[in-house]
């Protein structure tokens, strides 16, 4: 398979998926995103799973969360991009 400069990687798709689902991608980026989905079954499954997750939890509001759960979620999302992933069996 030849790779064009305009092709996106699976990693880039993961970074763009929220904007894709929100309809916030530029037309060019949306085209690249959808072209990747045409050739990558794993990313199709990922996008489908994320859609299902959004549908399942889309009705949750901040008010329905326990304060400790809310704080933990905010902390996790605030720090997710700044820390390298922890190996599954690593101690806390």
Q: Is residue 3 part of a domain?
A: no
Mean pLDDT across 11-22: 93
CATH number of domain containing 31 = 1.10.10
Q: Is residue 87 part of a domain?
A: no
Q: Is residue 86 part of a domain?
A: no
The residues near 43 (Cβ < 8 Å, ≥ 6 apart) are 10, 13, 36, 37
Tokens representing 17? Answer: 């998926």
CA 46, 32, 80, 44: dihedral to nearest 10 degrees?
0
- DSSP symbol at 23: T
Assess whether pLDDT exceeds 70 at residue 89: no
For the chain, give the percent of residues with pLDDT over 90: 47
Q: Is residue 55 part of a domain?
A: yes
Q: Is residue 85 part of a domain?
A: no
Q: Is residue 92 part of a domain?
A: no
Enclosing domain of residue 31: 10-79
Q: Is residue 88 part of a domain?
A: no
Number of domains in the chain: 1
Q: Is residue 91 part of a domain?
A: no
Per-residue pLDDT tens over the stretch 40-86? 999 999 999 999 988 887 777 777 888 898 888 888 878 766 555 55
Tokens representing 18? Answer: 């929220």
């Amino acid at each position: 398979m030849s790779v064009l400069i305009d092709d996106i990687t699976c990693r880039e798709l993961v970074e763009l998926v929220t904007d894709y689902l929100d309809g916030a991608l530029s037309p060019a980026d949306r085209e690249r995103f959808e072209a990747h989905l045409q050739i990558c079954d794993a990313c199709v499954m990922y996008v489908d799973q994320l859609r299902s997750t959004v549908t399942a939890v889309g009705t949750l509001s901040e008010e329905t969360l326990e304060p400790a759960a809310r704080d933990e979620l905010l902390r996790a999302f605030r720090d997710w991009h700044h820390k390298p992933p922890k190996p599954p069996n690593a101690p806390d």
